[in-house]
Amino acid sequence: MDPAPRRIPGWAPRIGVALLALMQPCAFGQAMSNPFHDPFEPATQGLRGCVPPQPPSYTLAAMREEEHWRVEQGNSCYLAGRCRYSNSYLYDAGIARRLKRGLASSPLLRHTSIWILVQGRIVELSGCVASAAQIATAERVTRSLRDVQGVIPHLMVGVRGSRPYP
């Protein structure tokens, strides 16, 4: 004997349509800004005229692809014994706080405008510095922090010219 057919409540289709409407901008390939809430913020702001970098952004399809990779990368760090936490992305907020303090407090970085992005213990430094020596200083300060796995500098000397960051 077949069970009685299930009836869909009258409000269910309306909620489904509302949810689809909320997701619509992503469904058509538009980018979402920083959907993973990666720490992205200015650390220093002492060089006027520096164009700020764009926050990380993903289309819905790219976000789904990135999610899979992030789970794999984040957990493999712990399984390999290279991380204390169960996911390498759990370090990012603490790294960002310490790095922001470290860069802002360095007198050698006073005339710089540096933004930080931390993703899975990897730090990207973007922005402008007054001299090449400041790039080395910013990298050194960043590498000295506990739990930082790598540093990618996208820093330019001065505020004019082609930016090495998006």
Tell me, what CATH number does 121's domain have?
Answer: 3.30.70
Residue identified by tokens 């289309």 is 59
Q: Has this prediction a pTM greater than 0.85?
A: no
Give the pLDDT confidence score for residue 21 in this predicted structure: 43
Cα–Cα distances in angstroms (integers) from residue 114 to residues 110, 125, 148, in the given order: 10, 6, 17
Report the amino acid identity of residue 27: A
Residues 54-77, mean pLDDT to the nearest whole number:
88
Other C-beta atoms within 10 Å of 70: how many? 18
Q: Which of 10-14, 59-63, 131-135, 160-164 has the lowest mean pLDDT?
A: 10-14
Classify residue 62: in a domain, yes or no: no
Domain housing 43: 39-55+89-157
Orientation of helix 12-27 relative to helix 60-79, angle to 10°: 90
Classify residue 164: in a domain, yes or no: no
Q: How confident is the model at residue 43 (pLDDT cuts 50, 70, 90)?
A: very high
Say if residue 91's pLDDT is above 90: yes
Give the pLDDT confidence score for residue 104 in this predicted structure: 97
- What is the number of structural domains in the chain? 1
Give the pLDDT confidence score for residue 3 in this predicted structure: 55
* Four-residue CA torsion sign, 104, 109, 112, 117: negative
Residue pair 85/54 in contact (Cβ under 8 Å)? The answer is no
